[in-house]
Amino acid sequence: MSTDSRSRAWRWLRPVLIAAVTWFVGSALFAPWLNPWLTWKMQRDGETIMLLQRAHIDLMLAREEAHSDWLIEKRWPKEARVPGVHDPAEAVWTIDVPAEFEVRFRYTDLFPAHSGLRGTALILRIDPQTQVWSCRPGTPAPPASLTPMDCRVSQPWTLVDVLTLVLVLAFVAMAGVAVLVFVARPAAILSIRDPQRVLRHPLEGLPTLDRHLGWLRHRSQLLLAAGVPTIRWREALRHVADDAEHRATRLATRIEARSIRAKDWALPGHVHAWTLPASLPVALERLWLYQPDPTLPAEDIVRRLRELPNGQDVVLVLSPSVDHDTALRAFANDPANLCVCADQATQTEWLLQPSATDVLVNLLARQLRVTRISPYQTRGGVTRPSAFFGRESLLARVLHREPGNYLLVGGRQLGKTSLMKAIERRFEGHPRVCCHYLSLRDHRLFERIAADLRLPADTPIDALVDALAERAGGRRLLLLIDETDLFMRHEAQHQYAQLNALRALSEEGRCHFMLAGFWDLYEAAMLDYASPIRNFGEIIHLGGLERDACVALATEPLARLGVRFTDATLPEFLATTCGQRANLVAIACQQVLEHLERHQRLVDPRRLHQALQSEAMADALAGWARLSPDPVACQIDRILVYRVAQAFHAARSDAAPITLASLLADFDTAGIALEAEMLRRSLARLQLAYVLKRENDGEHVVFAVPLFASQFHAGEVDALLGRELASLGDALRGQDG
């Protein structure tokens, strides 16, 4: 017999047993003639039964004799007897007349002692008007179980009787509650005791729980304590009864996802394609929701899931019943697949918790490789709001003012695009400002705008702005133009023709601009005194991220995945080592995640060190060798970097720190007559690129990112520096020649 059928039988047997026990105890106390045990016991006593039958006949005869005497004599006889019984030793009754119209029958010693009848009495009385006999127990009264039916007359209740009744009723009430507990199942009681349990009650059991809570009059109180609004509770109850389509839509709505019925899936059941919102704090854009056919055994569903072709999309499987939970969960817990199982309890949580998104994220983090959903974006402009940290003061400068022109200058991978995208996101749906992001790929700004608006390439800028204004619907226009270096380079060579048009548009208040770029933009804005861009707009220098934001970037996304640092100082150390560069912090954290073992959730110093020494980090640190289109300028840049690296490796031997003067002296020593202005520009470029920084009141030049030094091997820096100096000497002599 299986466990299931045993428990089902017990479910029925239990109340039957309780009822039987209650009946037995109750009848023994109040209706012994109905009590099977007492009845059985009495029926086993044949002698007493036989005597009782004889006593009954004798009683009838004696009664009729007394009645006849009264009718004949017209007065009630002084004594009564059983006709025909002369030997008192054979008599079952001793009969006397206690009062007029009454006859008292007392059981003789002929009855066995154990019957309890000896000496007990019954009193029969005739009503002279109606001539109807009545019977009542005498003193002492025979046992209730042996008292004839017509002699069981009620008597006024004594105090003992009342107290006994109260006691019995209390017992019955307790028994009733006990029965209720068993019938209503422990869940209701446990939920009342701990309201949070209701959030993880199996989905399929919610209607029953709801009914029982209703019986116990605890529903509202419990929902209040659990923090579940009634409307959400009702939705959850409706969800249980809904069809697959409505279920998918309701669950998707709870996380602001879009659900579309998917076809062409061989899986038995229903599949929906979900597009997840950008606000989801993990990197997952979409998933497949699978609601299996509930009639299929769990093993069959797992087999079919295993047979799915290896895709890159996550499949979220909704367990159709508690019976399916274990097998589906075990399959989903295997990190080798991309299946996630929402068991019955999780589905309830999804519907009842204030944030269903948290439920989904926890589920994904538990059952998938964390790298699959890592929220860290290590390349390109950050597109997900949850992956963008800090820059609050810069954002406030742009967002909380009237639209104006801005020049956003900073090195590569420092977050210019991320900041512009954050600005675009914040202005989304703004009542007064319409913001538009545009990434240039060459100098042709107007053609780019035209292509974006799907207008002919030769459309004049006025018409383009008119088209943009029409699209903005009366709101003020702010155009965010990214990657403007090639544009600025071209403009510098062509008298800033396009830039003058932009300036005119902004002066007319028709459109404002934020231009983002690196060296060419910086050069035009800061170093070219003839450039019309000098007063074009406010210059925003983009450097490292704020320290707190760096720490938040290092800890918060990890925490969402259930990962944390063993030591609270590690995130601070990470921020310092990465020079507060957001992309490096993100890469380090991503590397940490990639090397975490399954179920490991702690990041120790050794693991962090490994991440900082990883190839991905080295890859991100490369790419500084050609910051300018001018090859000579690049050579000077490289020489400065090698010189600082040389000083870094010699730091232990108390080598003199690098200063502008020492750098000039180095060039002189190498026989290179370098103009101080070229060196100053080079330093400015490397500072803007966040390769070098000045410290000690701007006197000493050091690496902006301490980790940057790790890409130079002590032994090779001298050789590289020597070769670059020689090459620069040749190049400059060639120019002079």
Partner 1 sequence: MTTIDMDDATGRVAGCTLPNFDVMPVSDFPDLLAQHMRRIRASAAGVASEIGISREAVNNWRQGQSLPNRKHRDKVLACANYLRLTEVETNQLLASAGFEAEFPVEATRTPAATTTSRPATPAAVSALFDRLQQLRPYPVALLLTQAHWGQPPERAAMLAEAEARYGSSRVLHLQPPFSAEPAADTYFAALAHQCGFTGVDTDHAFEAELARLLRHPGPLFCLVSRFEQGAPAQRDLLAGILRSLSEMFSGQLHVLICGGAALADLKYQGGDLSLLNIAASESWPELTVADVQRMALPQAVDPATADRALRLSGGHPLLASAGLTLLHESPSESDDALVEQLASHPPLWQAFLPLLETPAHRTPIREWLAKPRLAPARPYLLDPLLRSLYWHNLLVARRHADGLWLEWRCAAIREAGLLIARSLDDAQA
For residues 7-34, one letter each, b for 16 or more C-beta atoms within 10 angstroms of the residue's C-beta and e for the rest, the string is eeeeeeeeeeeeeeeeeeebbeeeebee
Task: Choose between 9 and 726: whose C-beta lies nearer to partner 1.
Answer: 726
Q: Give the CA distances from residue 639 to residues 439, 628, 651, 730, in Å, rounded to whole numbers and listed in that order.
A: 33, 14, 18, 14
Amino acid identity for residue 605 in this structure: P
Residue number, 632 or 720, with CB nearest to partner 1: 720
Long-range pairs, 504-507, Cβ under 8 A, ≥24: 505/461, 505/465, 506/404, 506/405, 506/536, 506/537
Longest dimension (CA), the chain: 171
Nearer to partner 1, 346 or 591 (CB): 591
Rg (CA), the chain: 48
Query: Closest separation between CB of residue 713 and partner 1, Å?
Result: 5
Based on CB atoms, which residue is closest to partner 1, 483 or 491? 483
CB of 670 to partner 1, least distance (A): 17
Q: Select 14 or 713, whichever has its Cβ closest to partner 1.
A: 713
Name which of 551 and 645 has its Cβ closer to partner 1: 645
Distance CA 276, CA 274 (A): 6
CB of 366 to partner 1, least distance (A): 19
Using CB under 8 A, list all residues that contact partner 1: 283, 285, 312, 371-372, 377, 379-381, 383-384, 412-413, 417, 439-442, 447, 451, 457, 483, 485-486, 613, 615, 618-619, 622-627, 711-713, 716, 719-720, 723
Q: Are 240 and 203 in contact (CB under 8 A)?
A: yes
Q: In the complex, what is the shortest distance from the CB of residue 610 to partner 1, in angstroms, rounded to a whole number?
A: 11
Decide whether 39 or 371 has the Cβ nearer to partner 1: 371
Min dist CB 380 to partner 1, Å, is 4
Q: Which is nearer to partner 1, 53 or 613 (CB)?
A: 613
Question: Whole-angstrom Cα distance, residue 551 to residue 568?
Answer: 10
Q: Which is nearer to partner 1, 56 or 713 (CB)?
A: 713
What amino acid is encoded at 441 in this protein?
A: R
Least distance from partner 1 to the Cβ atom of residue 640, Å = 14
Can you list the positions of beta strands (E) in 213-300?
Answer: 258-261, 269-275, 286-292
Closer residue to partner 1 in complex, CB, 226/486? 486
Strands, E assignment, 222-356: 258-261, 269-275, 286-292, 314-318, 339-342
Tell me the closest approach of the beta carbon of residue 486 to partner 1, in angstroms: 8
Shortest spacing between CB 437 and partner 1, in angstroms: 8
Sheet holding 339-342, edge to edge: 258-261, 269-275, 286-292, 314-318, 339-342
Q: In 31-108, where does DSSP find H-type helix? A: 36-44, 46-73
Give the nearest distance from C-beta 277 to partner 1 in angstroms: 13
The three-class DSSP label of residue 475 is coil
| Close Cβ partners of 490 (under 8 Å, ≥ 6 residues apart) | 442, 443
Residue from 316, 309, 431, 406 nearest 366 by CA: 316
Is there a contact between 636 and 728 (Cβ–Cβ < 8 Å)?
Answer: yes
Closest approach, Cβ 476 to partner 1, in A, equals: 24
